[in-house]
Amino acid sequence: MPEILNATEENIKVAAERLRAGELVAFPTETVYGLGADATNDTAVAKIFEAKGRPSFNPVIVHVNDKIDAEKIVEFNDRAALLASLFWPGPLTLILPRRADAKLSLLTSAGLPSQAVRAPVHPVARALIAALGRSIAAPSANASGSLSPTTPQHVANSLGERAGLILAGGKSAVGLESTVLDLTGKTPVMLRPGGITREDIEMQLGMKIDVEFEAVTDAPKSPGQLLKHYAPRTPLRLKAVDVAPGEALLAFGSIKFMGIKGGGAARDLPAGALMNLSETGDLTTAAANLFSMLHQLDTGNFSGIAVMDIPETGLGIAINDRLKRAAGAQKS
């Protein structure tokens, strides 16, 4: 059984310490319970995906207490500022351009240039964010493909001990996930319906918005899905068993037996051309490193990035899904 603690002042401090230590904490928000991790900690955010058993890395919402904190993470525009002033704290998630200097794991946006942010109104969520003193990355606290939880018992039933500590704060009042609104383009796009309606938003902005609901779901994605994926500029070569001249190597596990075509050992590649997702072959570490290492190698002017085979088990499934999408997106 997972550990369930009532959300007293004392226990909120305990939960914040767990988050600071890189562990997961499930906590109540007014919409649904969230599965939280310190949003600045790559390994902690990777644990979210491991716990949910998501077959791919969906970008997750970063929870803050106000617009001032959100502005350290994303670039606000006039529409975002207006909607935040009207609906925050509350069940509205805004997708905005991620700041280059944002102190955030790249896993929270799954490598994308945009980041989802939300200020919840639930007092326990707010107290937890304040006690941690950082933003909290949190998807709904359910196993992938199942219903969003509105009670601590739902979380326990769906995730068991994978939830980490569960902070119990009663039943979520809204019971529906937040409205997700993408404000990165010319016209705002609602990606998920929720407590704040299309009409609410259109009235306040004084304009029509687009609606593209299929994009946002915990279910496996269909080929026609709208959710964008991170793709490096440098071509990726998957399941590589050697490195070609001019290529960088994104390794996984030991590279003892890996060679360079035409001669030489991969371990002698110049600094900057070799990054290892996890020398010990640990998939959580690999997930934590995936986007930051791809970003780094992508800035290096290599002819390609050779990526070693990653086992198709556990988090490896999500890692391979992202790698395949990143490689596929380059071809189209």
Residue 140 vs 285, nearer CB to ligand TXA: 140
Backbone angles phi, psi at 238, to 5 degrees: -90, 160
Is 25 a binding residue for ligand TXA by CB under 6 A? The answer is no
Q: Whole-angstrom Cα distance, residue 37 to residue 26? A: 9
Helix (H, G, I), strand (E, B) or coil at 250: strand
Residue from 70, 136, 181, 216 touching ligand TXA (CB under 6 A): that is: 216
Q: Whole-angstrom Cα distance, residue 210 to residue 128? A: 34
Is 112 a binding residue for ligand TXA by CB under 6 A? The answer is yes
Is 59 a binding residue for ligand TXA by CB under 6 A? The answer is yes
Q: Whole-angstrom Cα distance, residue 91 to residue 77? A: 19
Is 321 a binding residue for ligand TXA by CB under 6 A? The answer is no
Instruction: Kindly report the number of other CB atoms within 10 A of residue 245's CB atom.
Output: 10
Q: How far is the CB of 252 from ligand TXA (least distance, A)?
A: 26
Residue 169 vs 253, nearer CB to ligand TXA: 169
Residue 54, binding choice from Mg ion, ligand TXA, none, Cβ under 5 to 8 Å by partner class: none
Is 28 a binding residue for ligand TXA by CB under 6 A? The answer is no
Give the CA diameter of the chain.
66
Q: Whole-angstrom Cα distance, residue 10 to residue 169? A: 14
Is 42 a binding residue for Mg ion by CB under 5 A? The answer is no
Residue 149 vs 164, nearer CB to Mg ion: 149
| CB contact at 8 A, 36 and 63 | yes
Residue from 38, 218, 298, 321 touching Mg ion (CB under 5 A): that is: 218
Residue from 38, 177, 247, 298 touching ligand TXA (CB under 6 A): that is: 177
Is 140 a binding residue for Mg ion by CB under 5 A? The answer is yes
Q: What does R_g of the chain's alpha carbons equal in angstroms? A: 20
Q: Whole-angstrom Cα distance, residue 28 to residue 157? A: 15
Which residues are at the interface with ligand TXA (CB under 6 A)? 29, 31-32, 34, 58-61, 93, 95, 109, 112, 114-116, 118, 138-140, 177-178, 180, 191, 216, 227
